[in-house]
Structure 1
Amino acid sequence: MDRPAISDYGFLSDCRSGALVGRDGSVDWWCPDRFDSPAVFGRILDDAAGRWRIAPVGTGRVERAYLPDTLVLRTVHHTPEGSVAVTDALAAEPGARAHQLGHNSPAVLLRVVEGLSGRVPMRLDFTPRPEYGLLTPHLRKLPDGTVRAEAGPVALALRGGPPLHVERDRVRADFAVSAGDRLGFDLAYAPAYGGVPARLDPVDALADTVLAWQAFRESHRYQGRHAGLVRHSATVLQGLTYTRSGAVAAALTTSLPERLGGDRNYDYRYSWLRDFAMTLHALWVAACPDEASRLFAWASRSIGQLGDDPVPVLFGLEGERGLAEHEITHLRGYADSRPVRLGNDAWRQRQLDVPGEVVSAVWRLHEYLGERLDDELRETVVGLTEQVAATWRLPDRGMWETREDERHHVSSKALCWVTMRLAVELAPQLGDRADPVRWRAVRDEIRATVLERGWNERIGAYTGAFGSDELDASALYLPVVGFLPATDPRMRATIAAVERDLATPDGLVRRWSADPGGFLLCSFWLVQCLVLAGERERAEALFTRVAGHANDLGLLAEQVDPVTGGMLGNFPQALSHIGLINAAWELTEPGGD
Structure 2
Amino acid sequence: MDEFRPLEEYGLIGNLETCALVGQDGAVDWCCLPYIDSPSVFADILDPDEGGRFSVTPSGEFEATQQYMERTNVLQTTFETESGTVTLTDFMPVIEERENEEPQRRGIYRQVACTEGTVELDVEFSPRFDFARAETTVESIEEGAFASGDDRRLFLSSPVDLDTDGDGATATFSLDAHESAWFTLGYMMHTPDDDENCEALLDRTVDYWREWAHSCDESECLFGGVGHDHVVRSELVLKLLYYRETGAMVAAPTTSLPEDPGGVRNWDYRYSWIRDGSVTVRALTGLGHVEEATGFVDRFLEHSREGDTAEVQPLYGVEGEIDLEEEHLDHFRGYLDSQPVRVGNEAADQVQLDVYGDLVLAYYQRFWSDGGEISDENWESLSGIADYVSEHWDDEGAGIWELRGEPRQLVHSKVMCWIALDRILDLADRTGRDGPLDEWRDAHEAIRSSVLEHGYDEEVGAFTQSYEGTEMDATGLLIALSGILPFDDERVVSTVETVQEQLANDDGLVYRYEDDDLEGDEARFVFCSFWLVNALVAIGRTDEAWTVFENILDYASPLGLIAEEIDAENDRQLGNFPQGFSHIGLVNSAMYLREGDYDWANVDPLGGPTLVQEGDQEDQQGFEGKELTQESER
Do Structure 1 and Structure 2 share a fold, with TM-score over 0.5? yes
RMSD, aligned α-carbons: 2.1
Q: 2: CA distance between counterparts of 1:326 and 1:371?
A: 45
Report the CA distance between 1:366 and its aligned residue: 0.9
> Are 1:199 and 2:195 an aligned pair?
no
Q: Which amino acid aligns with 2:204?
A: D
Give the corresponding residue for 1:418.
419
Q: Provide the secondary structure at the position in 2 that maps to 1:590.
A: helix
Q: 1:271 Cα shift?
A: 0.8
Which amino acid in 2 is paired with 1:126? F
Residue aligning to 1:138: 137
Query: CA contact under 8 A between 1:69 and 1:214: conserved in structure 2?
Result: yes
1:211 aligns with 2:207: yes
Query: CA–CA distance in 1 between the matches of 2:507 and 2:541?
Result: 17
- Distance of aligned partners of 1:271 and 1:105 in 2 relative to their CA distance in 1, 3 Å threshold: farther
The residue type equivalent to 1:356 in the other structure is: G
Which of 548, 560, 574 in structure 1 is aligned with 2:554? 548
SS at match of 2:45: coil
Q: Percent identity?
A: 35
AA partner of residue 503 (structure 2): L
- CA–CA distance in structure 2, aligned partners of residues 404 and 527 of structure 1: 30
User: How far apart, CA to CA, are the structure 2 residues paired with 1:439 and 1:430?
Assistant: 16
Q: Note if contact 2:135-2:150 (Cα within 8 Å) is conserved in structure 1.
A: no
**Offset, 1:219:** 7.7
From 55, 58, 67, the equivalent of 1:56 is 58
Distance 1:116 1:198, change over 3 A: closer
When residues 365 and 219 of structure 1 are mapped into structure 2, their CA distance, relative to the original with a 3 A threshold, is farther
Q: Is the counterpart of residue 91 in structure 1 residue 93 in structure 2?
A: yes
Question: How far did 1:530 drift?
Answer: 0.7
Matched, 1:285 2:286: yes
Q: Which residue of structure 2 lines up, in the alignment, with residue 68 of structure 1?
A: 70
Is contact 1:549–1:565 with CA below 8 Å preserved after alignment?
yes
Give the direction of change, closer, same or farther, for the CA distance of 1:40–1:402 in structure 2 (3 Å limit): same
CA contact (8 A) 2:305 2:380 kept: no
User: What residue ranges of structure 1 are gaps of 5+ in the alignment?
Assistant: 98-103, 191-195
Out of 147, 157, 160, the position equivalent to 1:159 is: 157
Question: 2:114 corresponds to which residue?
Answer: 115
Tell me, yes or no, if structure 1 residue 447 matches structure 2 residue 440. Answer: no
State yes or no: 1:353 paired with 2:346.
no
Residue identity matched to 1:65 = Q
Choose from 534, 538, 550 the match for 1:532: 538
Residues 105 and 266 (structure 1), Cα distance of their counterparts in 2 relative to 1, 3 Å cut: farther
Whole-Å separation in 2 of the counterparts to 1:319 and 1:95? 23
Unaligned ranges ≥5, structure 2: 516-520, 601-634
Distance 2:295 2:216 in 1: 16
Residues 55-109 of structure 1 deviation map (CA, whole Å, 9 limit, x = unaligned): 1011221111000111110010111111111011112337879xxxxxx763300
Amino acid of the structure 2 residue aligned with 1:542: V
Q: CA deviation at 1:289?
A: 1.1
TM-score (norm. length: structure 1): 0.94
Distance 1:340 1:543 in 2: 33
User: What is the CA distance between 1:460 and its match in structure 2?
Assistant: 1.2
- 1:572 matched to 2:570? The reply is no
**Which letter maps to 1:124?**
V
| 1:278-313 deviation digits (Å, cap 9, x = unpaired) | 222201111111111122122223434241634210
Once the two structures are superposed, residues 385-430 of structure 1 have per-residue CA deviations (whole angstroms, 9 ceiling, x without a partner) of 1101111111111110000000011100000100111121122578
Secondary structure of 2:114's counterpart equals strand
The SS at the match of 1:49 is coil
Contact kept in structure 1, 2:566 and 2:574, CA below 8 Å: yes
Tell me what 1:404 maps to: 405
Change in CA separation of 1:434 and 1:566 when aligned onto 2, cut-off 3 Å: same
- When residues 254 and 381 of structure 1 are mapped into structure 2, their CA distance, relative to the original with a 3 A threshold, is same
**Post-superposition shift, 1:221?**
9.6
Which has the higher mean CA deviation after the structures are superposed, 390-399 or 364-373?
364-373
Could you tell me how far 1:117 is from its partner in structure 2? Answer: 1.0
Asked whether the 8 Å contact 1:480–1:529 carries over to 2, the reply is yes
Work out the CA distance in 2 between the residues paired with 1:95 and 1:160. 26
CA contact (8 A) 2:360 2:423 kept: yes
Secondary structure of 1:531's aligned partner: helix
Cα distance in 2 for residues equivalent to 1:451 and 1:371: 32
**Contact residue 248 and residue 318 of structure 2 kept, 8 A:** yes
Change (3 A) 1:430 1:387: farther
Show the counterpart of 1:521.
527
Secondary structure class of the residue paired with 2:200: helix
Query: Could you report, residue by residue, the CA deviation over 1:263-289 in whole angstroms, capped at 9, with x for unpaired residues?
Result: 111110011112344222201111111
Are 1:26 and 1:51, in contact at CA under 8 Å, matched by a contact in 2? Answer: yes
**What is the rounded CA distance, in whole Å, between the counterparts of 1:303 and 1:41 in structure 2?**
36
Confirm or deny that 1:340 pairs with 2:338. Answer: no
- Structure 2 equivalent of residue 246 of structure 1: 247
- The amino acid that maps onto 1:169 is D
Q: Distance in 2 between matches of 1:38 and 1:274?
A: 24
Residues 238-387 of structure 1: matches in 2 within 5 Å?
Answer: 238-307=239-308, 309-370=310-371, 372-387=373-388
State the AA in 2 paired with 1:465.
S
Counterpart in 2 of 1:125? 124
What CA distance in whole angstroms lies between the structure 2 residues aligned with 1:503 and 1:40? Answer: 39
Output the CA distance in 2 between the equivalents of 1:145 and 1:392.
Answer: 61
Cα–Cα, structure 1 residues 544 and 297, in superposed 2: closer, same or farther, change >3 Å?
same
Q: Which residue of 2 aligns with 1:469?
A: 470
In 2, are the aligned partners of 1:258 and 1:568 still within 8 Å (CA)? Answer: yes
User: What is the CA distance between 1:483 and its match in structure 2?
Assistant: 2.6
> In the aligned structure 1, how far is the partner of 2:317 from the partner of 2:500?
36
Looking at structure 2, the residues matched to 321 and 170 of structure 1 have their Cα atoms a distance apart, in angstroms, of 36
- Give the aligned partner of residue 608 of structure 2: none
- Asked whether the 8 Å contact 1:524–1:580 carries over to 2, the reply is yes
C-alpha contact 2:408 2:468 (8 A) present in aligned 1: no
Give the secondary structure class of the aligned counterpart of 2:213: helix
Count of residues in Structure 1 that have an aligned counterpart in Structure 2: 582
AA partner of residue 375 (structure 2):
D
Alignment of 1:421-440 (within 5 A): 421-428=422-429, 434-440=435-441
Question: 1:95 touches 1:208 (CA, 8 Å); kept in 2?
Answer: no
Quote how far apart the aligned CAs of 1:318 are: 1.7
Residue 182 of structure 2 corresponds to residue 184 of structure 1: yes
Q: Which amino acid aligns with 1:565?
A: D
Matched residues in 2 for 1:554 and 1:446: separation? 40
Residue-by-residue CA offset, 1:441-499 (whole Å, 9 max, x unaligned): 11111101101101112211111111312111011122233233332111111111111
